[in-house]
Amino acid sequence: MYNCKLFYFTCIGERKELIDIYNYFRDSNDFTCTLQQELYRDEYWCEIMPKKATKGNAILILKKELECDRIIAFGDSVNDIPMFKISDESYAVENAVDELKEHASGIIMSNEKEGVAHWLEENYRRI
């Protein structure tokens, strides 16, 4: 049906400007569509991509190619949920959206306080 191999669209604006786009694509069998307020500004982002174009699928490909044993993921937004679902451990930063925190193995300091860097410093020997 679609001849392109890869694409990713981000539409940025007010929620009321993006809701029709989101409603059109949200239940699609071919696309993933997310609508969320940007964590660090007032604007909203509507992201549209092929169903298989997720962070989770990308990591699984890299895991196989690099012959990795474990996946530890860090995130702050709903587009990180597929990545968290396939990870052995997943950590949401303190200022992440609540929906992502529900999928996290743990909550770490905010990314504004360099939470990922602190976690890595404290845990690099065990990983």
Q: What is the average per-residue pLDDT within 30-51?
A: 88
- State pTM to two decimals: 0.74
What pLDDT digit, counting tens, does each position of 88-103 carry? 999 999 999 999 999 9
Calculate the dihedral angle through the C-alpha atoms of 114, 117, 123, 99, rounding to the nearest 10 degrees: 60
With residue 72 as reference, give the H or E element that holds it. strand 72-75
Q: With bands split at pLDDT 50, 70 and 90, how would you rate the model's confidence at 124?
A: confident
**Average pLDDT of span 47-75:** 90
Q: What domains can you pick out in the chain, each with its CATH number? A: 9-50 (no CATH), 55-123 (3.40.50.1000)
- CA angle 2–78–92, rounded 5-degree value: 140
Q: Percent of the chain having pLDDT more than 90?
A: 64
Burial of residue 14, with CB atoms counted within 10 A of its CB: 0-12 exposed, 13-18 middle, 19 or more buried: exposed
pLDDT tens-digit readout, 102-115: 999 999 999 889 99
What are residue 73's DSSP bridge partners? 90
